[in-house]
Chains A and B, each alone.
Chain A
Amino acid sequence: MFRLPVSKMDEFFGAIAAAQTLYLPADGKDGKASYVKWESGIALSKALNTVRSAKDFFFPQTTNLCDFNVNGKNIEIIDNRTESEDFVVFGVRACDARSFTILDKVFLAEPVDSYYATRREHGTVITMACTAPEENCFCNVFGIDAANPEGDAACWLTENYLYINPITEKGRKFIETVKGLLEECDSAEVDAQKAATKEILDRLPFANVNTDYFRKNTLLDIFNSDKWAKLSESCLACGTCTFVCPTCQCYDIKDYDTGHGVKRYRTWDSCMYSDFTKMAAANSRTTQLQRFRQRFMHKLVYFPDNNEGEFGCVGCGRCLSRCPISMNIIKVIKNFGEEE
């Protein structure tokens, strides 16, 4: 374990940014935190989390996959990928850090998504332990410890020190680049912070939400449940939940005709949209009930079925605080759990 005095944070960020691009959560004009590229003078946000998740770094909202030039009957394919540069994402919370492991299972499984893989390779994730979780947090339901996050290296911020502990090889390499500013230390203060946070985590309103229902019952029983109708009736069919979600990974690919060529884009897609996975012949889901059900079945049933029981949710609470009509995964889990 290493540490540096809080007064040297700026110097620390400067040292990282000198070697590679550094991104961290900073407060915007509206007081909301979002990831920005660090420049001298930008302070680390004190907010619990960013409005948008950290998945943007590896799976951005839009990606220009390739371009085409059309000349008569010839089509030239232009690979516009440039060698990606190394970057550091600092201040990722435990929930978002876990979301990368979930996304890895999707994008790094065969066939490997080269766009995602490249970004993942070049990115170093430095996480930050939570000290003041909020009412919408339920990462502990999925076995995530907010006080002891994963990532390439984890940080703990106390009153006077920033503690940092490397976890992976990449993390150890990262520590080497800023070694001059750090001093080795014991973990006494960090342990005290962990204990204090754990006490808060244990009394969070959703600390004991039970997901057993989705393990005990069969896929078809859950799928055919008549509860979906009630749960989905007021859904607006907007994509807020899917776009702020750190684990939602559906995308759509589209060609854009620029008049002198074609650009191929990949953009986030949402299962809440009426034309989600629409095919030439028909639409596989014609009602909002089906689309709403798809989202929760995916996170709570299909994904665990394919991934040794791991749920496709990390309990970051973004959909809880952002849904325009306050319908969310907690209400779904609880509603099904009630039957027990």
Chain B
Amino acid sequence: MQVNENNFRPKIVAFCCNWCSYAGADLAGTNRLNYPADVKIIRVPCSCRVNPMFILRAFQRGADGVIMCGCHPGDCHYTSGNYFARRRMTLLFSMLDYMGIERERTRVEWVSAAEGAKFAATMNEFVETVTALGENKRLEDLRCKSKQ
């Protein structure tokens, strides 16, 4: 996988839970911490709201990497939502890997409302990883790639 570092900017979709990670992203902003504008955040009520279809649809619509952020295990606003999400995503990611889709394109991180720095660092690192992987080819839907 050759990377064209000059002009390839990955599209990243980040599903962030309303109570921790979204607030964490907010904190990163108010603290003026930098993270790439390639990350598009979608706020969800709880990480448990993210269903496998969301991840696939993000890829279909042109995402090159998808990251899901939620409260740390034990801190879920709804007590147990992120535990279920954790199991689901573990299995889904394992399956994507099994089908030969680059495993680095998907990630889960737990980010609390106080971890603005962690949010920025995670996003920086993830964007870097996906940039290195290049464009998502294996789970792409050519129809949705916009005409350049």
Are any A and B Cβ atoms less than 8 Å apart in their complex? yes
B141 closest partner in A (C-beta) = A258
Q: Which A residues lie within 8 Å of B143 (CB)?
A: 256, 258, 263
- CA separation between A263 and B147, bound complex, in Å? 14
Residue total for A at the interface (Cβ-Cβ under 8 A): 5
Distance (Å) between the CB of B58 and the closest chain A CB? 12
B-side binding surface: helix, strand, loop or mixed? Answer: loop
Check: A143 CB closer than 8 A to any chain B CB. no
Enumerate 10 A-B pairs (CB-CB under 8 Å) in ascending A order.
A256-B143, A258-B143, A258-B144, A259-B61, A259-B62, A259-B144, A259-B146, A260-B146, A260-B147, A263-B143
CB within 8 Å of B: which of A256-288?
Answer: 256, 258-260, 263
The 8 A CB mask of B58-85 against A (1 = contact, 0 = none) is 0001100000000000000000000000
Q: Which A residues lie within 8 Å of B62 (CB)?
A: 259
A67 closest partner in B (C-beta) = B143
CB within 8 Å of A: which of B92-148?
Answer: 143-144, 146-147
A260 closest partner in B (C-beta) = B146
Q: Which A residues lie within 8 Å of B147 (CB)?
A: 260
Distance (Å) between the CB of A26 and the closest chain B CB? 25
Distance (Å) between the CB of A254 and the closest chain B CB? 13
Distance (Å) between the CB of A123 and the closest chain B CB? 26
Q: Which A residues lie within 8 Å of B146 (CB)?
A: 259-260
Which of the listed residues A258, A259, A260, A263 has the most CB atoms from chain B within 10 Å of its own CB?
Answer: A258
Q: Which B residues lie within 8 Å of A260 (CB)?
A: 146-147
The 8 A CB mask of A315-338 against B (1 = contact, 0 = none) is 000000000000000000000000
CB within 8 Å of B: which of A219-259?
Answer: 256, 258-259
Q: Which A residues lie within 8 Å of B144 (CB)?
A: 258-259
Interface residues of A (CB under 8 A from B): 256, 258-260, 263
Distance (Å) between the CB of B143 and the closest chain A CB? 5
- CA separation between A256 and B142, bound complex, in Å? 12
Distance (Å) between the CB of B146 and the closest chain A CB? 5
Q: Which B residues lie within 8 Å of A263 (CB)?
A: 143
Q: Which B residues lie within 8 Å of A256 (CB)?
A: 143
Closest 7 CB pairs of A and B: A258-B143, A260-B146, A258-B144, A259-B144, A263-B143, A259-B61, A256-B143
Distance (Å) between the CB of A266 and the closest chain B CB? 15
Q: Which B residues lie within 8 Å of A259 (CB)?
A: 61-62, 144, 146
Distance (Å) between the CB of A261 and the closest chain B CB? 8
Distance (Å) between the CB of B20 and the closest chain A CB? 30
- CA separation between A256 and B61, bound complex, in Å? 12
- CA separation between A258 and B62, bound complex, in Å? 10
- CA separation between A45 and B108, bound complex, in Å? 48
- CA separation between A259 and B147, bound complex, in Å? 11
Distance (Å) between the CB of B40 and the closest chain A CB? 14
The 8 A CB mask of B32-67 against A (1 = contact, 0 = none) is 000000000000000000000000000001100000
Q: Which B residues lie within 8 Å of A258 (CB)?
A: 143-144
- CA separation between A263 and B142, bound complex, in Å? 12
- CA separation between A256 and B144, bound complex, in Å? 10
Q: Could you list 8 further interchain pairs (A-B, Cβ under 8 angstroms) beyond the known A256-B143, A258-B144?
A: A258-B143, A259-B61, A259-B62, A259-B144, A259-B146, A260-B146, A260-B147, A263-B143
A64 closest partner in B (C-beta) = B143
B62 closest partner in A (C-beta) = A259
Distance (Å) between the CB of A221 and the closest chain B CB? 48
- CA separation between A289 and B143, bound complex, in Å? 38
Distance (Å) between the CB of A69 and the closest chain B CB? 10
- CA separation between A50 and B144, bound complex, in Å? 34
- CA separation between A256 and B60, bound complex, in Å? 13
Distance (Å) between the CB of B117 and the closest chain A CB? 34
B146 closest partner in A (C-beta) = A260
Q: Which A residues lie within 8 Å of B61 (CB)?
A: 259
- CA separation between A259 and B141, bound complex, in Å? 12
Distance (Å) between the CB of B68 and the closest chain A CB? 22
Distance (Å) between the CB of A263 and the closest chain B CB? 6
Distance (Å) between the CB of A57 and the closest chain B CB? 23
Distance (Å) between the CB of A120 and the closest chain B CB? 27
